[in-house]
């Protein structure tokens, strides 16, 4: 059964100039399309990864999953409950306690004035739960010492801070953790330690991850299923082996070609052509067609629907 169910999820941001400027310049309102009609499911106790270029809508989707942003349209169901439309406060509160988030920057996501103990137990203390010894227990589970509970965040390195963030996420015993590029601010060796820790905790606690990343190596190591985003649209979804071995969408192929490879010394790679279109004024049809080497007339006129092609879901008229 799917723990998370996303259907036709869209999010627009009003980026208009102030009212008086619009009147003087005779301009209408302007809206940026950050996410456009995205569909996917996340199975319980699995890792679903979202990848794509900067500005593709990954973090916006993550924030809508945890309730930090409201969808403009569409449905986000967690354990069968749509938090945007549900009116039962008790049911919403119960679902929210099952969701946590690990943010990208371990330096900005911890309160510098609080001791580590208070930071970790905050999700439980805010609901009136028992916090005796909780911080010390969680610190040892994430590879730190229980003596660290009395310290402040500035006394830790970046990797240790991210472990504290993970401990805080585990405090409320969640089912779902949204990880927004949790290792991108860390050194490579520390990245491996944090990722291995997350993998172990997933098995120990039966967690479900939504992993947001631009690092394809991390995604292949961690994910059970990968969704590729382009300009706010989901263009391909597949298991890691299928996606890396036989990518169907031209954008996915371009991403994989551009990724660093251990055995790629001296290889010649065709640089990506064109620029990402303006999300305030996205092109008609397939959003990738201005940069696509195999685009046809239908690509410029009709938006492709997600469809099954073998083990892959792909939104491309020319995927075959």
Write down the pLDDT at residue 276. Answer: 77
**Do 197 and 164 form a contact (C-beta atoms < 8 A)?**
no
Distance CA 287, CA 138 (A): 45
In this prediction, residues 281-304 reach a mean pLDDT of: 90
| Domain range list for the chain | 2-98+174-249
Query: Is residue 125 over pLDDT 80?
Result: yes
In this prediction, residues 18-43 reach a mean pLDDT of: 94
> Among 31-45, 86-100, 232-246, which stretch is predicted with the lowest mean pLDDT?
86-100
Helix, strand, coil shares of the chain, percent, nearest 5, are 35, 20, 45
The region, left, alpha or beta by phi > 0 then psi within -120 to 50, assigned to residue 243 is alpha
Query: Is residue 123 over pLDDT 70?
Result: yes
Alpha helices by DSSP H, listed for the chain, are 19-25, 58-66, 89-96, 116-125, 134-141, 158-170, 188-205, 216-222, 240-245, 250-258, 297-301
Write down the pLDDT at residue 273. Answer: 67
Q: pLDDT grade, residue 256 (50/70/90)?
A: confident
Q: pLDDT grade, residue 278 (50/70/90)?
A: confident
Query: Is residue 262 over pLDDT 70?
Result: no
Per residue in 131-153, pLDDT tens? Answer: 899 999 999 999 999 999 999 99
In this prediction, residues 46-60 reach a mean pLDDT of: 92
Write down the pLDDT at residue 274. Answer: 67
Q: pLDDT grade, residue 271 (50/70/90)?
A: low
- Determine how many CB atoms are found less than 10 A away from the CB of residue 154: 9
In this prediction, residues 268-282 reach a mean pLDDT of: 75
122 or 214: whose pLDDT is higher?
122
> In whole angstroms, what separates CA 263 from the centre of its chain?
29
Crossing angle between the packed helical segments 188-205 and 158-170, to the nearest 10 degrees: 10
Among residues of the chain, what percentage have pLDDT more than 90?
65
Three-state DSSP state, 43: strand
> Among 130-139, 180-189, 230-239, 246-255, which stretch is predicted with the lowest mean pLDDT?
180-189
Across the chain, mean pLDDT equals 90
Three-state DSSP state, 5: strand
Q: pLDDT grade, residue 269 (50/70/90)?
A: low
- Sign of the alpha-carbon dihedral angle for 98, 8, 254, 280: negative
Closest C-alpha among 237, 227, 282, 252 to residue 62: 227
> Among 74-88, 130-144, 241-255, which stretch is predicted with the lowest mean pLDDT?
74-88
Q: Does domain 2-98+174-249 have CATH number 3.40.50.300?
A: yes
Closest C-alpha among 103, 86, 39, 49 to residue 228: 49
| 188 Cβ contact list (under 8 Å, min separation 6) | none
């Amino acid at each position: 059964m799917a723990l998370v169910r996303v259907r036709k999820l869209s999010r627009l941001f009003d980026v208009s100039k102030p009212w008086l400027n619009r009147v003087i310049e005779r301009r209408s309102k302007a809206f940026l399309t950050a996410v456009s009609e995205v569909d996917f499911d996340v199975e319980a106790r699995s890792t679903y990864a979202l990848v794509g270029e900067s500005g593709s809508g990954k973090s916006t989707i993550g924030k809508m999953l945890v309730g930090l942003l409201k969808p403009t349209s569409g449905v986000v169901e967690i354990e069968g409950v749509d938090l945007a439309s549900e009116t039962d406060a008790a049911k919403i509160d119960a679902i929210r306690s099952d969701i946590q988030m690990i943010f990208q920057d371990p330096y900005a996501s911890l309160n510098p004035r609080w001791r580590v103990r208070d930071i970790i137990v905050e999700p439980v203390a805010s609901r009136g739960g028992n916090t005796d010894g909780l911080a010390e227990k969680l610190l040892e589970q994430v590879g730190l010492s229980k003596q660290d509970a009395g310290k402040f965040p500035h006394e830790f390195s970046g990797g240790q801070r991210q472990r504290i963030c993970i401990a805080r996420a585990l405090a409320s015993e969640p089912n779902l953790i949204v990880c927004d590029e949790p290792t991108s601010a860390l050194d490579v060796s520390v990245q491996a330690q944090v990722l291995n820790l997350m993998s172990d905790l997933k098995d120990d606690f039966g967690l479900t991850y939504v992993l947001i990343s631009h690092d394809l190596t991390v995604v292949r190591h961690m994910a059970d299923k990968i969704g590729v985003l382009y300009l706010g649209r989901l263009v391909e979804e597949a298991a890691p082996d299928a996606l890396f071995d036989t990518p169907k969408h031209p954008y996915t192929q371009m991403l994989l070609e551009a990724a660093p490879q251990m055995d790629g010394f001296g290889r010649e790679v065709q640089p990506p052509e064109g620029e990402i279109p303006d999300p305030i004024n996205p092109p008609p049809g397939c959003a990738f067609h201005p940069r696509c080497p195999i685009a046809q007339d239908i690509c410029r006129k009709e938006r492709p629907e997600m469809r099954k092609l073998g083990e892959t879901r792909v939104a491309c008229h020319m995927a075959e």
